[in-house]
Amino acid sequence: MKEKIVVKDLYKIFGPRPKHALTMLKSGVSKDELMEKTGHGVGIADVSFHVNEGEILVVMGLSGSGKSTLVRCINRLIEPTAGKIFLEDIEITALTKKELREVRQRRFGMVFQHFALFPHRSALKNVEYGLEIQKVDLAQRREKAMQALEQVGLKGWENSYPSQLSGGMQQRVGLARALALDPDIMLMDEAFSALDPLIRRDMQDELLTLQDKMHKTIIFISHDLDEALKLGDRIVLMMDGMIIQEGTAEEILAHPANEYVQKFVEDVNLSKVLTAETVMKKPGEVASYAYDGPKAALWKMKQAGISSIFVQHKNKLVGIVSADDASEALKKGEMNLKNIINTDITKVLPATPALELFTLLGENSPLAVVDEDDRLKGVIIRGALLAALSEGAQNNGSV
């Protein structure tokens, strides 16, 4: 997977003599002691991570953890004290002001918590603003701005002013303004935090829908764990300016790095986080539609200790055969599975949330986990699903 952004050994210290304070910090002086002795504040300390191309990385933590300082250092709205930031082969921390301005305009889009719209401009003209700065001609910037407004569901509202729009609609204008620039990277700093809960969930869904189409590289800042779990391909958890843990939602929930992380995640409903892929078992024995008959199917079921078996044809899942039906067919002298295969099976994709599996899972029938080409990836039975949820709950301390 291609690394889009790489951050190495990044520090930001606020105060008149940051280099001196940095030396003290590196020598072992604590953040609180540094503030007491020198009046310098540590925004971020020794932060290193990467962001893969096309993923949503959520940086989260409580107020004062350094997450907003970090995202502003990435495009140098805040100048780092030390460390390096790379955008592919471009070292952001080494750019001149002119070079940095060009990279910001063409590679980064930023969405803030408090909309930052011009009250005297219509929605359309707010979205056009970044293109104006780039000196894009009127016809082209209008076309791009209208496309961006349509992407976020605001077609028909282009002539409305911010005061005429709801909070959610204003945030959509802010998102459209960033999208109109067609940036490589979206930096979203608490972008939905000022919205009411229902509108916030709608915006989260909207972002995920857009991401399915756009495949942008997104760094999303949040203090909300539920939001991080919903949006993040990976999560970086910060405290006191440092990264405490980095990983997927499941890695952090199942293996919290310390007591702070454990307290952060202890109330999470794991059934909303775990997926079919994480609770499934490998399929083991599978029958071949082309080559196996009832006797071969029964033999494979006996070997695996199962009472039914999935059937594949040309590497695609086509159905399931039960031991009872195979036994009856064998008594009748049938030589293939054609007349006993049940094609009415429930299939789910690996990313299906565990919460949805309960309603899909029958009392006895296993659930098939398949990829987009209908290839069998795994099998889920009710007992294994309950066991996975129970084990995960014990690991994160919620039971």
Say which CATH number the domain at 375 has. Answer: 3.10.580.10
**Helices and strands of the chain, counted as H and E runs:** 16, 16
Given a cut of 50, whether residue 351 has pLDDT beyond it is yes
* Mean pLDDT, range 279-295, rounded to an integer: 87
Per the confidence metrics, is the pTM higher than 0.85? no
Contacts 24+ apart (CB under 8 A), 32-40: 39/15, 40/13, 40/14, 40/15
pLDDT of residue 265: 78
Residue 317, in any domain of the structure: yes
Q: What is the domain count for the chain?
A: 2
pLDDT of residue 249: 82
Residue 188: φ, ψ to 5°: -120, 105
Output the domain CATH number for residue 195. Answer: 3.40.50.300
- The band of 6, judged by pLDDT with boundaries at 50, 70 and 90, is very high
Domain co-membership, 142 together with 239: yes
Q: In this predicted model, what pLDDT tens digit does every residue of 115-169 receive, in sequence order? A: 678 999 999 999 999 898 888 999 999 999 999 999 888 999 999 999 999 888 8
Domain co-membership, 264 together with 239: yes
d(CA 7, CA 83): 8
- The band of 398, judged by pLDDT with boundaries at 50, 70 and 90, is very low
* Mean pLDDT, range 54-69, rounded to an integer: 92
Domain co-membership, 213 together with 70: yes
How would DSSP label each residue in 235-271?
EEEEETTEEEEEE-HHHHHHS-SSHHHHHHHTT--GG
pLDDT of residue 390: 59
| Beta carbons within 10 angstroms of residue 313's beta carbon | 16
Task: Name the residue type at position 168.
Answer: G
Domain co-membership, 355 together with 237: no
Q: Higher-confidence residue: 297 or 282?
A: 297
Domain co-membership, 380 together with 316: yes
Q: What is the mean pLDDT of the chain?
A: 88
Domain co-membership, 325 together with 259: no
Domain co-membership, 351 together with 216: no
Q: Residue 322: beta bridge partners?
A: 308
Given a cut of 50, whether residue 215 has pLDDT beyond it is yes
Residue 121, in any domain of the structure: yes
Domain co-membership, 120 together with 251: yes
For the chain, what percent of residues have pLDDT higher than 70? Answer: 93
Residue 355, in any domain of the structure: yes
- Single residue among 236, 255, 270 that ends a domain in this structure: 270
CB 115 within 8 A of CB 171: yes
* Mean pLDDT, range 49-76, rounded to an integer: 93
Residue 281, in any domain of the structure: yes
Residue 220, in any domain of the structure: yes
Residue 298: domain span: 277-390
- Single residue among 221, 252, 270 that ends a domain in this structure: 270
* Token pair in block for residue 396: 């994160």
Residue 329, in any domain of the structure: yes
* Mean pLDDT, range 304-312, rounded to an integer: 89
Domain co-membership, 231 together with 108: yes
- Single residue among 255, 270, 285 that ends a domain in this structure: 270
Domain co-membership, 229 together with 158: yes
Domain co-membership, 190 together with 311: no
Sheet holding 185-189, edge to edge: 108-111, 185-189, 217-222, 56-60, 234-239, 242-247
Q: In this predicted model, what pLDDT tens digit does every residue of 222-276 receive, in sequence order? A: 988 888 888 999 999 999 999 999 998 878 887 889 988 888 777 666 666 678 8
Mapped onto helix, strand or coil, the DSSP state of residue 396 is coil
Domain co-membership, 249 together with 379: no
Q: Higher-confidence residue: 320 or 272?
A: 320
Residue 384: φ, ψ to 5°: -65, -35
* Mean pLDDT, range 311-334, rounded to an integer: 91
Residue 97, in any domain of the structure: yes
Measured N-to-C along each axis, helices 123-133 and 167-180 cross at an angle, to the nearest 10 degrees, of 30
Would the CA dihedral through 375, 377, 380, 386 be positive or negative? negative
Residue 10, in any domain of the structure: no
pLDDT of residue 270: 63
